[in-house]
Chain A
Amino acid sequence: MIPLVLEDVSKTRGRGARAVQVLHGISMAVDAGEFVLLEGPSGSGKTTLLAVAGGILTPESGKVFLEGHRLHGDSRASDRGRRAKAVGFVFQRSNLLPQLTILENILLMGRIAGLKAEDARREAEDLLRRLGLIQLRHRHPLELSCGEEQRVAVARALVHRPRIVLADEPTGNLDSHAGLSVAESLAELARSRGSAVVVATHDVRIASFASRRIKIEDGTIATEQPSSSRGAEGQALK
């Protein structure tokens, strides 16, 4: 089952005189295990595309299929449940909840996605171990560096083994070293869990992990090409 399919999706933001059509008939599909890069200038519609793909925004026209199920067709509650199970989100800021420890932040996502408490804990601890953050599991987000926070956010996005991870500028607030570390963590963990990844970014370093690059301009797909340097470029950057 193809994790994500968009068919002729259009979306307008704002109302009345301030309404702006952000997406114009976008069609794309993301296969299992793919690492897709969404590139484009600010305001080109990358974030809106992620929000529509993740079921957060409803398109005016077009269809969005998540694991073969059409979003925005049934009730919002069933969309939400499907999205919680099948999608992981990584935002520009870590957006970890400051009142929870990092372990609890990850556990909460697992629970939202419907994992049993013990399964969520096992998955969360496994991810933290692989990220080298297990010893920090009882700390709160404010006690971590920005890079560590964002790596925890990656773990949160993957705890429930989603079919697809949607990441919006995940390295945008990080220095080059931390940014690379986050990109590596996202690529490696997603690959090991069989999750496809769609990343909207300006960060050229992430391009090295991509299997496909899609350039968005003015709400349309301007170019789309497979990334030839995947893996080798990533290794070189390491």
Chain B
Amino acid sequence: MLRLLAKSLRGRRIRSWLAVAGVATCTLLVIVIASAYRSVRKAMTDYAGQASVDLWVAPQGSDNMIRGSFISFIPFGDVDRLREIPGVKAADPIIQGFLPVESLGSEEPRKRLNLLTVGFRQPDGLGGPPAYAKGRAPRSRDEVALDKAAAHRLGIGVGDAIEFIGRRVVVTGLTTGTNILASQFLFTDLDLAAEGSNAVGRASFVLVQLAPGADRERVVRAIEERSPGVRAFSREEFVESNEREVASGFIPLLALVTFLGVGASALLVGLLILSVVDERRGDIAVLMALGTGANAVGRGVLAQAATLSFRGALIGVALSYGLNAVLEAVLPTIPLRISALDAVLIAGLFIITGSASALAPVVRLSAIDPLEAFRS
């Protein structure tokens, strides 16, 4: 009976589909923002969470790669002291900073980007690229690897040359998981990056690999005792700190967009249901005259709102996967990492709020007099 009731109170087709389209668009919007957040968080945690690195040693006051460590450095002398600590198998410095690169193609004007540059000990020192989409690690000062989205923005590929810190370098590899939306990673020689950053002989972080069986806590204490100006973080702590930093930038935006999107979507569904209750007043009066209770009619109306919201949310989820595929192929600079759980939760949120938005119009049902069915 509920199906027939809901069908009997269906709104006009075009309006209904407009409401569905509105819900779908809002769902898509929220999923896109959530996926961008996931993607940036993943990029930061993939890099910071490299399995070969057990400890991140940072200057005091710096506990993540996004904020800090651009003006505060660790002297190379400290790196040598770290290597001497029992339980340390390897310790490699990296330096990071935003440095400009420029395409060298025939196109004018040349494309120029500021990339999050990581200087590491080439070719296999700790802190190199987490994964390659194409090519190989850079092996000299004249070679770099950069994120594939950055390469797309510059219009270059493996084997092409770019201008970096006033010199011509060749791109040997395109990396993945290194796109943080606002910028992308570039990996280069440690000394070259230090020169470009005016930080010769200093490191942004020192990455430590422990010897098998080493006591991590003991090594951490030893590092902090020998170098009072630094702090050592376990890989997990450093990842968590980076995640927190990304979240602090994204979550307010995500919350705002979600709030606005859910509000707009609920308004659309609520307005449609309100128009149904107002325009189908005569039919509702007939249903009541025939013996349908206001509660049952209300359930029919709510079922309609739930159906519209469900369709909209489902289409929004489908569109987000479609958009992801299109962006991946056409515009990889916008990274979307859609989490199925996020999609389900967001769709669920839209379905619940869309359905709830019909509650206010449903209250108006009580004002409908079944006697209206007798009036011609």
Contacts and interface: CB of A to CB of B under 8 A. Distances in A.
* Chain B interface SS verdict (over half): helix
Chain A's interface: helix, strand, loop or mixed, by majority?
Answer: mixed
Nearest to A88: B290
Range, interface on chain A:
20 to 34
B376 A172 contact: yes
Given A84-B290, A89-B289, A107 B4 contact: yes
Interface residues of B, number: 21
Contacts of B4: 100, 104, 107-108, 111
A26 interface: no
B371 A83 contact: no
Interface in A62-105: 77, 80-81, 83-85, 87, 89, 91-93, 95, 97-100, 104
A104 B261 CA distance: 37
Contacts of B371: 51, 56-57
Interface string B265-304: 0000000000000000011001101111100000000000
A237 B354 CA distance: 56
A54 B196 CA distance: 90
Given A89-B290, A112-B290, A113-B291, A95 B9 contact: no
A210 interface: no
B293 A95 contact: no
Given A77-B293, A112-B290, A113-B291, A104 B7 contact: yes
Contacts, number: 67
Given A93-B376, A111-B1, A99 B9 contact: yes
Interface string B1-36: 100110111100000000000000000000000000
Contact of B291 (A83, A97, A98): A83
A134 to B, nearest CB: 19
A87 B374 CA distance: 15
B373 A95 contact: yes
A104 B283 CA distance: 14
Nearest to A104: B4
A91 B5 contact: no
A95 B282 contact: yes
B335 interface: no
A113 B376 CA distance: 24
23 contacts: A47-B374, A50-B374, A51-B371, A54-B289, A56-B370, A80-B293, A84-B290, A84-B291, A91-B373, A91-B374, A97-B286, A97-B287, A99-B10, A104-B4, A104-B8, A108-B1, A108-B5, A108-B8, A111-B4, A112-B1, A112-B292, A113-B291, A168-B374
Interface of A: 47, 50-51, 54, 56-57, 77, 80-81, 83-85, 87, 89, 91-93, 95, 97-100, 104, 107-109, 111-113, 168-169, 172-173
